Structure 1
Amino acid sequence: MIGNRESSGGAHFAFTDRWGGVSAAPYAMLNLGGAVGDDPAAVRTNRGLAAAALGLDPAAVRWMRQVHGRDVVVADGPPPDGEPPTADALVTARGGLPLAVLTADCTPLLLADPVAGVVAAAHAGRPGLLAGVVPATVEAMRALGADPARIVARTGPTVCARCYEVPAALRDEAERTVPGSGAVSADGTPAIDIPAGVRAQLAASGVRDIALSPVCTRESADHFSYRRDRTTGRQAGYVWLDPS
Structure 2
Amino acid sequence: MKTVSLSLFTPFPSITAAFTSRHGGISKAPYTDANLAFHVGDNPEDVVTNHDLLADTLAYNRHSLIHMRQIHSDRIVIVDETLNFDTPPECDALITNRIETPLMVMSADCTGILIYDPIQKAIAAVHAGRAGALNAILPKTIQKMGEAFGSLRENLHIVLGPSIGGCCYEINETIASECTSKGYGLALRREDEKVFLDVNTILLKQLKELNIENVEVIKHCTSCRCDEYFSYRADAQQTGRIAGVIILR
Which TM bucket (shorter chain)?
Answer: over 0.9
Q: Does 1:39 align with 2:40?
A: no
SS of match in other structure, 1:174? helix
Q: Contact between 1:116 and 1:145, CA under 8 Å: does it hold in 2? A: yes
Equivalent position to 1:117, from 114, 118, 121: 121
Q: Pairwise CA RMSD of aligned residues?
A: 1.7
Separation of aligned partners in 2, 1:77 and 1:180: 42
Structure 2 unaligned runs (5+)?
none
- Residue 85 to residue 178, structure 1, CA distance change in 2 (3 Å): farther
Aligned partners of 2:85 and 2:24: how far apart in 1? 31
The 1:238/1:81 distance shift into structure 2, 3 A limit, reads: closer
Q: Deviations over 1:109-152 (max 9, x none)?
A: 10011111011000000111111111111011111111110100
Q: 1:227 aligns to what?
A: 233
Matches within 5 A, 1:129-144: 129-143=133-147, 144=149
CA contact (8 A) 1:151 1:209 kept: yes
| Equivalent residue, structure 2, for 1:190 | 195
1:3 aligns with 2:4: yes
2:232 is aligned with what amino acid?
Y
Q: Residue 22 and residue 174 in structure 1: after superposition, are their counterparts in 2 closer, same or farther (change >3 A)?
A: same
Aligned pair in 2 of structure 1 residues 112, 164: CA closer, same or farther (>3 Å)?
same
Q: CA separation in 2, counterparts of 1:186 and 1:45?
A: 43
Distance 1:80 1:45 in 2: 17
- In 2, the alpha carbon distance for the partners of 1:42 and 1:181 equals 42
The alignment partner of 2:233 has SS state of: helix
Kindly state the Cα deviation for residue 34 of structure 1 after the two structures are TM-superposed.
0.9
TM-score calculated relative to the size of structure 2:
0.92
- SS of the aligned residue for 1:105 comes to coil
Retained in 2: the 8 A contact 1:180–1:200? no
Counterpart secondary structure, 2:224: coil
Question: Structure 1 vs Structure 2: percent identity of aligned residues?
Answer: 33
In structure 1, the partner of 2:161 is 156
Matches within 5 A, 1:1-244: 1-5=2-6, 6-9=9-12, 10-79=14-83, 82-143=86-147, 144-179=149-184, 182-184=187-189, 189-220=194-225, 221-229=227-235, 230-242=237-249
Question: 2-side partners of 1:76 and 1:19: how far apart?
Answer: 31
Deviations, residues 186-225 of structure 1 (Å, cap 9, x unaligned): 6672111111111111222332111111100001111000
Unaligned runs of 5+ in 1: none
Amino acid at match of 1:53: T
